[in-house]
Amino acid sequence: MANLIILTLPLFWAFTSSYSLPFVVFHGVTHKCTTSGVDNFTNLLSNWSGSQGYCIETGDSWFVPVTKQTEIACEQVKNISELIKGYNIVGLSQGSIIGRAIIEFCEGAPQVNNFVSLGGPHTGIGSFPFCSSQRICNLVNYIIKLGVYSKYVQENFAPAGYIKDPTAINQYMKGCKFLPRLNNEYKDHKDAVYKKRFASLQNLVLIMFEDDEVLIPKETSWFGYFSNGSREKVLAAQETTLYKEDWIGLRSLDEAGRVQFINVSGRHLELSETIMMQYIVPYLKRSASRYQQLSI
């Protein structure tokens, strides 16, 4: 969403001697692929991992609904020939749920091997994200008056697709057009395909920022969330019905040892070289290889 901070290193890893799968970056709200932080982030990961990186633009991150952004992203990943043998995804905040939607929804897309999510609102957010400008603030105030689950708001405001009011679950289930489907929440229709696709990941890396004030609650990064009816009690991922009943395959992945729950210091999307090298880069490499160290 915001506060993307990238620290440049004096040294980088240039390339590997063996083939590495490419990766795709999905940015968060308020950003674009051409935003300096996102561009640097993509390039640095590519340099350090030896893997080709692509940042995919999905339209205005505020005003194109996440359902439409997912459709755009789906077509783009299918049209990048370099991804045909499989690829990895790195999602930044809102981009994490778009990346997950590609895994679950995108028919005919290449296989996703590893998925790294940084500050992703996977089980929703309990309030609107911060305003990045007066124009956005005015819009948010207008939307609050209209109602977040109204047809107009759902079709014209991206974050509305993953706002989950824990005190208005019935309205959320009826009106929210994105997150209930993504999390297989509908009682009378659990899509086994979504679960199968998500559970096929080799590795799922969930990074939560300790001082995150953008995601409410921050535990949504780990699939935790408010207990229904409460804005105070936060359930750990393993306490949620989504996990217990394995709606999307999260429990299956976890029990197979393929989920990493990582807590790092800092605010929302504050990324240091240590975080990137330790928790992201290893999942962008297909196998252990020799690396050449170059100075710049």
Residue 141 amino acid letter: N
252: nearest Cα among 192, 209, 207, 208: 192
**Burial of residue 64, with CB atoms counted within 10 A of its CB: 0-12 exposed, 13-18 middle, 19 or more buried:** middle
The rounded distance, in Å, linking the Cα atoms of 79 and 110 is 10
Can you say whether the dihedral through the CA atoms of 20, 24, 237, 261 is positive or negative? positive
CA distance readout (Å), 244 to 128, 248, 278: 28, 10, 30
Can you say whether the dihedral through the CA atoms of 283, 285, 289, 292 is positive or negative? negative
Active site residues: 93, 212, 268
Quick one: how far is CA 57 from the chain centroid?
14
Contacts (Cβ under 8 Å, ≥6 apart) of 19: 286
Give the angle subtended at the CA of 278 by the CAs of 201 and 47, to the nearest 5°.
85
